[in-house]
């Protein structure tokens, strides 16, 4: 019998101009992945119910909600693009999930100013997510009025027929799973996400087992393996489409391309075997030079004590909801900076786990019994993790770690526990998956002998901090290191990125002797480090320091720094919930300037965030490619108020010291001009001026160095980023860290070009990237014409000592020999040979 069509008007939830969905700059909407509909460029700021029905979804970030009519049509209203990253800021929900609403009833208010400033787009997307009920759809054109104009005119399939069908389960044909690792977390998350778009109850059936297809945990619990037949069973108004589409999705591998699946542990070659160099060595990226011996101390996350009984179920539910919202915000922030797709997908699984129906119903059951939110959470997550651990599929067993990880995040938030201070036994070798700058803040008092992290590379912030503290470090170390037992003796060579496990006693004593010799050499270097930096024949090269605050500036001066060549101002902005005020910033700059006095230069780099440097209160839009997106000066120009406040704060410190302001990540002359114009405007109100320079860390800036030099006072070459962008190698990539070496011939030639462009106009050039701290590189940089070296504080004496060993002519000879070489290996080879001729310690080999 042919179905009879009835109509339903979806009214405009906001006033404004209609934009076709295909024109929305986000493939999820433009390709109609969630369903068909239309978008509105809004002129009102209140979202009205587009249909009468029940609020079936209200996102924690309150930027999106859905209303379903009684006969199974669900309409999603999504405000803006990437507004999830605002974590609820700028939105006020006027209804709760589950509420019954009338057509035209206000559901949500948003602050257009916040969105205009911080979101990628203000467009409001209106999508019918239950497409199966829709025969055809006619979107309005032109302008629409909220609560009045029909935005979408739907012709529906006969509602009675659909309702009748709702009682009958629809069962798909069996699908043989193509996924090599079965339905593990990632495909499970894809299936659950798709299943949630249907109103019908959707289940996956394998043999006698049947699970909720909208729950990631339940799907993983099905433990379905490759080739096993799985059916989709759906009951509800859109059952037919749900069963057909999910069966197709399963047959296609649920978003997992061949070769992407994880290999079960039993059969996978152990990474340790692949990336260890034999003789019990575990490899990673050299991140901070130096040798160390010590016992392994693994940093793992601690357990939480929680009270079993809580307040009323409503109170506990409200606490839980807050924690879930915050956890989602944290995970979204991590996802924005995930450097590979797999990591981003894992974080998607974590987001899905936060609202997983299986976990939510376990938690709800415990809350109803009067348990506290924290207790319910701990039990539910631990129970589900334990279930996964009992499965016979090794890949699924490993996913228990994800469930535990999300549970731990929620528990920490519920317990209001700030991440505990990391207490490393004095002299231990700290091994961790990942360390945050706050983890490392206690190292001033109790310092480890060395640090090894599985994540990050030689220019990650962990590496920069370790170098600043003079702690040998290996980043991106093979995960085999995470399995080392606590207390086992190891030797770390931070210069080569090698950790040697259980070394023989004779070897350890050789290493200890070498460490003692280095310490003695450092003392000799330190005794002469207070003299100005000069080559053997008296040519002046200023040796300044890279610091983050006044305390480090004091240490730098005590170690012989002749100024601060790079104040990484973003560290004043990190680890805070709000931006520092102009006063706070000015006080920090004044404090550093006072340490240095009027003679020593202070180069304040303006905020350099984006890429690998997130800021909690400045949610940068999610980007496909954050290292090529909003970074450095681009962020400042995009947020002029914040930038101007920083410039005013720097100008306020100018009378106290010898202030220089430096713009990071400059790629074009336009950026320099725009930034200088703002500086000039802010400067009108004050009498003191500052010198203005730019970081040279983007190849385009190198090529137009001569052009930039006409309009700037100085350059400082950021070789960490310049190497990254010149070689197109992510500076945090553990596998590329060994090759992304600034002693690459292309980078050396770029340094030479920059110097040439600057000197043509009488401007000075510094190098503040990590290579300047390497004594081996010092004569090369000086020979290329660099006027200033800004280095990590512990490296100051060794850098000055290296300078004093070479005459200017020898430096120039070495540099011109090296720029003619063709490979990094050739360049490093020449440097190693020169070093051994001089008997100079290069820190490149553990004595064998």
Q: Of 322 and 634, which CB lies nearer to ligand PEP in the complex structure? A: 634
Query: What is the smallest separation between the CB atom of 721 and Mg ion, expressed in angstroms?
Result: 4
Residue whose C-alpha is closest to residue 7's, from 144, 231, 159: 159
769 touches, from Mg ion, ligand PEP, none (C-beta below 5 to 8 Å by class):
ligand PEP
Judged by CB under 6 A, how many residues of this single chain contact ligand PEP?
11
Contact range with ligand PEP by CB under 6 A, out of 486-494, 507-515, 571-579, 715-723: 715-723
- Residues 39-78 vs ligand PEP: string with x where CB under 6 A? ----------------------------------------
How far is Cα 11 from Cα 729, in angstroms, rounded to an integer?
50
Q: Which residue has the tokens 């950026």?
A: 671
Binding region for ligand PEP (CB under 6 A) out of 141-149, 222-230, 266-274, 713-721: 713-721
Name the binder of 569 from Mg ion, ligand PEP, none, CB < 5-8 A by kind. none
Residues 798-837 that bind ligand PEP (CB under 6 A): none
* Paired strand residues for 282: 499
Nearest partner of 823 among 745, 747, 752, judged by Cα: 745
Question: Residue 296 is inside which H or E element, if any?
Answer: strand 291-298
Contacts of 510 (CB under 8 A, 6+ apart): 847
Classify residue 436 by burial, with Cβ atoms within 10 Å: 0-12, 13-18, 19+. middle
What is the rounded distance in angstroms from the CA atom of residue 232 to the CA atom of residue 244? 8
Specify the residue, 671 or 721, whose C-beta has the smaller distance to ligand PEP.
Answer: 721
Beta bridge partners of 37: 127
Nearer to Mg ion, 435 or 609 (CB): 609
Distance CA 647, CA 675 (A): 10
Point out which span in 269-277, 282-290, 675-683, 712-720 binds ligand PEP (CB under 6 A): 712-720
Site for ligand PEP in 607-626 (CB under 6 A): 608
- Can you tell me the distance from the alpha carbon of 688 to that of 656, in angstroms, rounded to the nearest whole number? 10
Judged by CB, which is closer to ligand PEP: 451, or 768? 768
- The residue (of 242 and 566) whose beta carbon lies closer to ligand PEP is 566
Distance CA 398, CA 391 (A): 10
The conformation of residue 600, written as its DSSP 8-state character, comes to: S
CA distance linking residue 438 with residue 426, whole number of Å: 18
Has 377 been annotated as catalytic? Answer: no
588: left (phi over 0), alpha (psi -120 to 50) or beta: alpha
With b for 16 or more beta-carbon neighbours within 10 A and e for fewer, the 575-593 pattern comes to eeeebbebeebbbbbbbbb
In this chain, which of 40, 156, 768, 777 binds ligand PEP, going by CB under 6 A?
768
Q: What is the Cα gyration radius of the chain?
A: 30
Q: What's the closest the beta carbon of residue 769 comes to ligand PEP, in angstroms?
A: 3
Looking from the CA of 229 toward its CB, the CA atoms found within 13 Å total 7
Q: How far, in Å, CA of 477 to CA of 451, rounded?
A: 10
Stretches 170-178, 470-478, 714-722, 829-837: which one binds ligand PEP (CB under 6 A)? Answer: 714-722
Count the neighbouring beta carbons within 10 Å of the beta carbon of residue 2. 6
Task: Determine the interface stretch with ligand PEP among 162-170, 581-589, 615-623, 718-726 (rule: CB under 6 A).
Answer: 718-726
> Which residues in 507-566 contact ligand PEP (CB under 6 A)?
566
Residue with Cβ nearer ligand PEP (254 or 567): 567
CB of 634 to Mg ion, least distance (A): 13
Whole-angstrom distance, CA of residue 374 vs CA of residue 277: 45
Does residue 496 contact residue 286 with C-beta atoms inside 8 Å?
Answer: yes
Q: How many Å apart are CA 534 and CA 804, to the nearest integer? A: 6
- Count, residues near Mg ion per rule CB under 5 A: 3
Q: Rounded to the nearest whole angstrom, what is the least distance from the CB of residue 720 to ligand PEP in the complex?
A: 3
Q: Which of 377, 452, 768, 811 is catalytic?
A: 768
From 62, 719, 732, 773, residue interacting with ligand PEP (rule: CB under 6 A): 719
Lookup: tokens for 3: 């179905």
Note whether 679 and 661 are within 8 A (CB).
yes
- Interface mask toward ligand PEP for 668-697; x: CB under 6 A: -----------------------------x
Dist. CA 516–CA 511, nearest whole Å: 9
Q: Does 721 bind ligand PEP (CB under 6 A)?
A: yes
* Nearest distance from C-beta of residue 278 to Mg ion, angstroms: 36
Strands of 735-841, DSSP E: 764-767, 788-792
Residue 196 binding: pick among Mg ion, ligand PEP, none (C-beta 5-8 Å cut-off by kind)? none
Q: Which residue is nearest to ligand PEP (CB)?
A: 718
Beta bridge partners of 16: 42, 144
Nearer to ligand PEP, 459 or 754 (CB): 459
CB of 605 to ligand PEP, least distance (A): 8
Residue 53 binding result from ligand PEP, Mg ion, none, given CB thresholds of 5 to 8 Å by partner type = none
Q: Which stretch binds Mg ion (CB under 5 A): 47-55, 64-72, 716-724, 773-781?
A: 716-724
- Cα 831 from Cα 754, distance rounded (Å): 23
Q: Find the angle CA(264)-CA(265)-CA(269) to the nearest 5 degrees.
A: 105
Tokens encoding 56: 């079936």
Q: How far is the CB of 610 from ligand PEP (least distance, A)?
A: 10
Pick what 604 binds: Mg ion, ligand PEP, none; C-beta below 5 to 8 Å, kind-dependent: none
Q: What's the CA gap between 565 and 482, in Å, rounded?
A: 37
> Nearest-CA neighbor of 724 among 770, 787, 772, 757?
770
Residue 262 sits at the vertex; the CA angle it makes with 258 and 264, to the nearest 5 degrees, is: 120
Q: Using CA atoms, how far apart are residues 458 and 477, in angstroms rounded to an integer?
A: 11
Q: Binding residue for Mg ion (CB under 5 A) from 71, 721, 788, 792?
A: 721
Applying CB under 6 A, among 568, 600, 639, 652 the residue interacting with ligand PEP is: 568
- Shortest distance, CB of residue 354 to ligand PEP, whole angstroms? 33
Quick one: 363 or 740, whose CB is closer to ligand PEP? 740
Q: Which range in 264-272, 317-325, 337-345, 715-723 contacts Mg ion by CB under 5 A?
A: 715-723
Report in angstroms how near the CB of residue 715 gets to Mg ion at its nearest: 13
Among 610, 769, 783, 794, binds ligand PEP (CB under 6 A): 769
Instruction: Give residues 445-474 in contact with ligand PEP (rule: CB under 6 A).
Output: 459
Q: Which of residues 689-708 bind Mg ion (CB under 5 A)?
A: 697
Instruction: Report the Cα 285 to chain-centroid distance in Å.
Output: 19
CB of 443 to ligand PEP, least distance (A): 19
Gap between the Cα atoms of 24 and 126, Å rounded: 11
Q: Which is nearer to ligand PEP, 261 or 729 (CB)?
A: 729
Category of 691 on φ-ψ map: left (φ > 0), alpha (ψ -120 to 50) or beta = beta
Among residues 362 and 723, whose Cβ is nearest to Mg ion? 723
CB of 808 to ligand PEP, least distance (A): 25
Q: CB of 722: closest distance to Mg ion in angstroms? A: 8
Binding of ligand PEP by 766 (CB under 6 A): no
The listed partner (Mg ion, ligand PEP, none) that binds 741, CB under 5 to 8 Å by sort, is: none
Residue among 718, 734, 757, 766 that touches Mg ion (CB under 5 A): 718
Which of 27, 626, 570, 631 lies closest to 343 in space, CA to CA? Answer: 626
The single residue of 59, 299, 461, 660 carrying the catalytic annotation is: 461
Of 87 and 718, CB closest to ligand PEP: 718
Token pair of 279 as six digits: 């003789």
Catalytic residue set: 461, 768
Site for ligand PEP, rule CB under 6 A: 459, 566, 568, 608, 697, 718-721, 768-769
Site for Mg ion, rule CB under 5 A: 697, 718, 721
């Amino acid at each position: 019998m042919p179905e009879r069509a009835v109509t339903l008007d979806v009214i405009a939830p906001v006033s404004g101009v209609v934009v076709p969905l295909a024109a929305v700059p986000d493939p999820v909407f433009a390709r109609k992945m969630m369903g068909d509909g239309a978008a509105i460029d809004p002129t009102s700021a209140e979202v009205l119910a587009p249909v009468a029905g029940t609020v079936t979804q209200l996102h924690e970030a309150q930027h999106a909600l859905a209303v379903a009519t009684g006969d199974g049509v669900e309409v999603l209203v999504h405000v803006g693009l990437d507004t999830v990253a605002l974590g609820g800021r700028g939105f006020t929900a006027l209804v709760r999930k589950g509420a019954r609403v009338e057509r035209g009833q206000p559901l949500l208010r948003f602050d257009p100013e916040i969105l205009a400033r911080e979101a990628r787009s203000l467009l409001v997307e209106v999508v019918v997510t239950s497409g199966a009920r829709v025969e055809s759809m006619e979107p309005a054109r032109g302008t629409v009025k909220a609560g009045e104009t029909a935005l979408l005119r739907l012709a529906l399939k006969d509602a009675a027929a659909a309702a009748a069908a709702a009682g009958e389960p629809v069962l798909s044909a069996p699908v043989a799973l193509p996924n090599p690792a079965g339905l593990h977390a990632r495909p499970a998350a894809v299936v659950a996400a798709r299943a949630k778009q249907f109103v019908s109850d959707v289940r996956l059936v394998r043999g006698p087992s049947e699970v909720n297809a909208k729950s990631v945990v339940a799907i993983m619990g099905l433990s379905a393996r490759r080739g096993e037949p799985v059916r989709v069973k759906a009951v509800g108004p859109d059952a037919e489409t749900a069963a057909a589409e999910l069966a197709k999705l399963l047959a296609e591998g649920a978003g997992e391309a061949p070769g992407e699946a994880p290999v079960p542990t039993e059969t996978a070659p152990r990474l340790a075997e692949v990336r260890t160099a034999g003789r019990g060595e575990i490899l990673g990226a050299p991140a901070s030079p130096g040798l160390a011996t010590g016992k392994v101390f693994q940093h793992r996350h601690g357990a939480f004590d929680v009270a079993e009984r809580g307040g009323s179920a409503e109170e506990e539910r409200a606490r839980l909801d807050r924690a879930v919202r915050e956890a989602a915000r944290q995970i979204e922030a991590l996802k924005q900076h995930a450097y590979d797709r797999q990591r981003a997908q894992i974080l998607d699984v974590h987001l899905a786990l936060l609202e997983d129906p299986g976990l939510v119903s376990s938690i709800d059951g415990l809350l109803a019994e009067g348990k506290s939110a924290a207790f319910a959470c701990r039990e539910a997550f631990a129970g589900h993790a334990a279930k996964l651990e009992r499965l016979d599929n090794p890949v699924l067993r490993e996913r228990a770690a994800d469930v535990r990880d999300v549970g731990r995040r929620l528990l920490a938030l519920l317990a209001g526990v700030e991440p505990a201070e990391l207490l490393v036994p004095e002299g231990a070798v700290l091994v961790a998956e990942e360390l945050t700058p706050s983890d490392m803040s206690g190292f001033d008092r109790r310092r480890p002998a060395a640090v090894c992290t599985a994540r990050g590379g030689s220019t990650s912030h962990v590496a920069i901090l370790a170098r600043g503290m003079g702690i040998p470090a290996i980043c991106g170390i093979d995960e085999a290191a995470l399995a080392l037992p606590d207390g086992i003796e190891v030797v770390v060579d931070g210069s080569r990125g090698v950790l040697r496990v259980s070394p023989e006693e004779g070897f350890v004593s050789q290493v200890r002797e070498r460490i003692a010799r280095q310490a003695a050499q450092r003392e000799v270097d330190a005794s002469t480090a207070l003299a100005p930096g000069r080559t053997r024949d008296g040519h002046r090269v200023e040796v300044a320091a890279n610091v983050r605050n006044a305390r480090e500036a004091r240490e730098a001066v005590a170690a012989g720094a002749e100024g601060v060549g790079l104040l990484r101002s973003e560290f004043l902005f990190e680890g805070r919930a709000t931006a520092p005020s102009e006063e706070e910033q000015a006080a920090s700059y004044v404090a550093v300037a006072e340490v240095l006095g009027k003679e020593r230069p202070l180069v304040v780099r303006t905020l350099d965030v984006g890429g690998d440097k997130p800021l909690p209160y400045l949610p940068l839009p999610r980007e496909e490619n954050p290292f090529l997106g909003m970074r450095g000066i681009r962020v400042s120009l995009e947020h002029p108020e914040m930038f101007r406040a920083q410039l005013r704060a720097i100008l306020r410190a100018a009378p106290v010291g010898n202030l220089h302001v430096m713009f990071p990540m400059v790629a074009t002359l336009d950026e320099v001009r725009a930034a200088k114009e703002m500086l000039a405007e802010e400067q009108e109100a004050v009498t003191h001026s500052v010198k203005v320079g730019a970081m040279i860390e983007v190849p385009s800036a190198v090529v137009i160095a001569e052009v930039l030099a006409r309009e700037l006072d100085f350059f400082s070459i950021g070789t960490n980023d310049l190497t990254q962008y010149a070689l197109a190698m992510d500076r945090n990539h553990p596998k590329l860290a060994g090759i992304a070496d600034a002693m690459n011939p292309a980078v050396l030639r770029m340094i030479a070009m920059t110097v040439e462009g600057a000197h043509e106009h009488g401007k000075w050039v510094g190098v503040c990237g990590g290579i300047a701290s390497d004594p081996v590189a010092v004569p090369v940089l000086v020979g290329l014409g660099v006027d200033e070296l800004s280095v990590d504080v512990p490296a100051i004496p060794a850098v000055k000592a290296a300078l004093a060993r070479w005459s200017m002519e020898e430096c120039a000879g070495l540099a011109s020999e090296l720029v003619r070489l063709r490979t990094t290996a050739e360049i490093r080879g020449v440097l190693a040979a020169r070093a051994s001729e001089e008997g100079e310690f290069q820190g490149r080999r553990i004595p064998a």
